[in-house]
Copies of this chain bind each other. A is one copy, B any other.
Amino acid sequence: MEKKILLTDCPDDKGLIAKITNICYKHQLNIIRNHEFVDRQQGRFFMRTVLEGIFNDIIFLEDLDMALPQGAERQLVSAGRKRLVLMVTREPHCLGDILMKGYSGAMDVEIAAVISNHPDLAGLVQKFDIPFHCVPTEELARCEHEQQVAAVVDEYRPDYLVLAKYMRILTPAFVTRYSGRMINIHHSFLPAFIGARPYQQAYERGVKIIGATAHFVTDHLDEGPIIEQDVIHVDHAHSAASMAEAGRDVEKLVLSRALLMVLQERVFIHGNKTVVFK
């Protein structure tokens, strides 16, 4: 008996749940968990179905394709381990958290490699016997640098590329190359405090809450579909530096939670939003 996840994303139509679950039943696949959502404004249907049984993928998907409306996307994926490449700069908190969760099995991932534009985090990565690639930016045009990075990434054929505090802006070309597969943690509560030195901005504004946002990177670095957000409380006694320190805790928490959702195939991209079946 195998376990697979069926992901359906299609125009809404009458009887979709019945049609899809009928085909599962006909194939003697047991439904372990089923989540469904219809965006009625946009007329779009999303369903995540965890199945158990003996799969004949080709015939099952052919049967599905006959039942689903035009414009349907469907995937039958295995529930197992995913492969990540991480991109970092100098800050160890998000990287360290993912390394540790990968090591302990709390996150079911193979961390294939870590790429950085600085050498600082090599020592930490090597402790975990994971390849570390430093691709320095010096004397390189932005697109040349990105080509070098992409060459390293592609060598590892990751399922997802995680920007775990990669502090360099990426060009649309790079972003498009990994569209829907690249996840970023943003160091503040979007859409507030976009841009440089967000904790300094937050400090100057006297906010009582510091947040973080994990999102897919699509066209623009900080504006892709949001997967997860959270906040922590701060007060007048926090300096900009201690706000940043507090922010690091929430950043790593939010990135980890978002990654878990993505790795378990719980996240659909829906225009500039996400559907997350928790």
Contacts and interface: CB of A to CB of B under 8 A. Distances in A.
Instruction: Say what secondary structure dominates the interface of chain A.
Output: mixed
A137 interface: no
A272 interface: yes
A11 interface: no
Contacts of A74: none
Contacts of A106: 93, 245, 248
Contact of A209 (B21, B96, B230): B230
A136 interface: no
Contact of A96 (B34, B93, B103, B208): B103
A17 B14 contact: no
A152 interface: no
A278 B17 contact: no
Interface string A5-28: 000000000110111011011001
12 contacts: A15-B25, A17-B34, A22-B22, A41-B239, A93-B100, A96-B100, A106-B245, A207-B226, A207-B229, A208-B228, A208-B229, A236-B276
